[in-house]
Amino acid sequence: DIVMTQTPLSSPVTLGQPASISCRSSQSLVHSDGNTYLSWLQQRPGQPPRLLIHKISYRFSGVPDRFSGSGAGTDFTLKISRVEGEDVGIYYCMQGTQFPWTFGQGTRVEVK
């Protein structure tokens, strides 16, 4: 199974300041079709997860452009350019390159 490791596990941020979350996979997420199936999800308190980014850097419908994704191979990053109050929650990376699909442990973003 592909293990997804996120750092940090907790990220206290000041509103209006940037935040960054890293995700590393135990093996390359490049699929035989050439795509890299790495996505990022946000889970606000008491809510189901919500898709933010797919295929490393494509923002899903309705996602603000302050969210961006980057990376390649085994190393990926989610960046929030200016954290807003509604961004508080837990962020997960997920790989869909091979079954079983696996998630990172989650990174809690909270306001200082």
Residues lying near another protein in the complex (CB under 8 A) are found at 1, 31, 35, 37, 39, 41, 43, 48-51, 54-55, 58, 60, 90, 92, 94, 96-97, 99-106
Residue showing tokens 């079954």: 99
Is the Cβ of residue 44 or residue 82 nearer to another protein in the bound state?
44
Residue 86: what are its φ and ψ, rounded to 5°? -75, -5
- Cα–Cα distance between 46 and 23 in angstroms, integer? 24
Taking every pair of Cα atoms in the chain, the longest distance, rounded to a whole number of angstroms, is 43
Q: Which is nearer to another protein, 15 or 72 (CB)?
A: 72
CB of 55 to another protein, least distance (A): 6
Nearer to another protein among residue 50 and residue 82 (C-beta)? 50
- Residue 52, exposed/middle/buried by CB under 10 A (0-12, 13-18, 19+)? buried
CB of 97 to another protein, least distance (A): 7
Report the residue number, 16 or 45, with the smaller CB distance to another protein.
45
Beta carbon of residue 82, minimum distance to another protein (angstroms, whole number): 26
How far CA 112 is from CA of 42, 51, 62, 68, 84, in Å, comes to 19, 25, 27, 22, 12
Smallest separation (angstroms) from another protein to the CB of 14:
26
